[in-house]
Amino acid sequence: MEFNNSIIENIANPYELERLYRQDPKAFKNSFLQAWEQNPDSQILGVWYERLHFKETANTEKSPLLRKDFIFMGILAILAGLSTRIIFHYVEQEVITPINLAFGIMPFIAGYFVYKNTPNKSVIYSLVALFLISGIYLNMLPLNYKDSIILAYLHLPIFLWVLVGLAFTGNEYSKGSTRLAYIKFNLEYGILYASMAVSGMVLAALTMQLFSFIGLDIEGFYFSNVVLFGAAALAIVAAYLVSINLKLAKNITPYIAKIFSPLVLITLLVYLITVIWVGKNPFLDRNFLIVFNGILLGVLAVTIFSITESDSDKKKNISDYINFALIVLALIIDSVALSAIVFRLSSYGITPNRLAVLGVNILIWANLIWIMVSYMRFLKKNSGPSTIQDAITKYLPVYGLWAAFVTFLFPIIFN
């Protein structure tokens, strides 16, 4: 009772309350409830109540394994694994094209984000309709290796990636900050999924080796029924782990961006000097032009991820000049590639491949110009880093529209 009186007497003296608590925490806690019951309106005692009983309250919360979003994620992971296995069966029978495997994963990732973000019904209906239309249209195309069909197969995942982005952003799909979060999610997701996939491959290799010791070759069965199922289910699990702010991927991505940007810049400069030295010509060498465009896409990806990992309120530093140099270099590469494509179109005529490459290079060129101008303004202190990020995020739907155009219209135009 004496301790209780001391708490009440010092109710307006935070220092003395802290001293009493440190003097005998157990006695303080035992006497506190009576003091709290006598002074239920005291804000100071209210803070102490939360402090003393927070752990007890936290322990009554549901285990992470029993949380609704975890259970829902688990259901989606199982469905993704089963769907992928069923689709693979028909791929093996050569009834459908392998690109259908994307429908065993991406709609379920989108489904998880819809559950997590609860967007408007119009967004949900749009997602369902577009996924269904994509799947139906894809399987209406003839199973052949015409250039227009292959281009549709190659561009479909990009279109589906944009749909997953719509599910991720939800009702805030028009906000640059939400689109930026989606780009960051992709980098963190890729790192986390790759880390878990390596562990899965080690387990698979160990399992098959153990069974080989007893004379059983389970490679075919294991790949079709375990590896494939696990790879699809893992895609949903990785999305869940990144979305709950797993620190592994979030802590490592800024360092990857800072390390790889200068390395890519140095490597690319050495490579381009070597190309000029040995006399490689993208205007005449088709395979080299393809490699050139691959380099362009790689540089664009590294630059975008490096920019998005920058702090929105930071001042310029050496990494900004490296990023700017990468953008200028990518713009030079794209300009050369564009010239080579125009030359090949004028010399050899229009084909689906040349038109598709021309279109994507024009899109990238315009995007790079926008990013470069924004970066120049930032480096001259005429604007903040947010203008650079806007040049990236606001342009994302353009890539989605182009992917949709190639996927749905090229097979019709070049039938």
> Around 187, how many Cα atoms within 13 Å sit in the side-chain half-sphere?
21
* Of the candidate ranges 21-30, 135-144, 187-196, 198-207, the one whose mean pLDDT is the lowest: 21-30
At residue 109, does pLDDT exceed 60?
yes
Average of pLDDT values for 24-36?
A: 77
pLDDT tier, 57 (very low <50, low <70, confident <90, very high otherwise): very low
**Per-residue model confidence (pLDDT) at position 159:** 95
Where is 305: in which H helix or E strand? Answer: helix 286-308
Tokens coding 149? 């069909």
Q: What is the pLDDT of residues 210-232, one digit of tens each?
A: 888 777 777 888 888 888 999 99
Q: What is the pLDDT of residues 255-284, one digit of tens each?
A: 676 777 787 788 778 877 877 787 776 766
**Per-residue model confidence (pLDDT) at position 1:** 46
pLDDT tier, 118 (very low <50, low <70, confident <90, very high otherwise): confident
pLDDT tier, 166 (very low <50, low <70, confident <90, very high otherwise): very high
At residue 312, does pLDDT exceed 60?
no
**Per-residue model confidence (pLDDT) at position 247:** 59
Rounded to 5 degrees, what are φ and ψ at 414?
-105, 40
- Report the share of the chain in percent with pLDDT over 90: 28
- pTM value is 0.76
Domain edges within the chain: 2-59, 64-243, 247-413
Q: Where are the alpha helices (H) located in 67-120, listed in sequence order?
A: 68-92, 106-117
Tokens coding 300? 């664009």
At residue 31, does pLDDT exceed 90?
no
Average of pLDDT values for 180-208?
A: 86
pLDDT tier, 58 (very low <50, low <70, confident <90, very high otherwise): very low
Residue with the bigger pLDDT between 176 and 229: it is 229
pLDDT tier, 314 (very low <50, low <70, confident <90, very high otherwise): low
Q: What is the pLDDT of residues 73-101, one digit of tens each?
A: 999 999 999 999 999 999 999 899 999 99
At residue 135, does pLDDT exceed 90?
yes
**Per-residue model confidence (pLDDT) at position 165:** 93
pLDDT tier, 248 (very low <50, low <70, confident <90, very high otherwise): low
E-strand spans in 237-281?
none
- Report the share of the chain in percent with pLDDT over 70: 88
**Per-residue model confidence (pLDDT) at position 310:** 61
Q: How far apart are CA 394 and CA 373, in angstroms?
A: 15
Contacts of 296 (CB under 8 A, 6+ apart): 330, 333, 334, 337, 361, 364
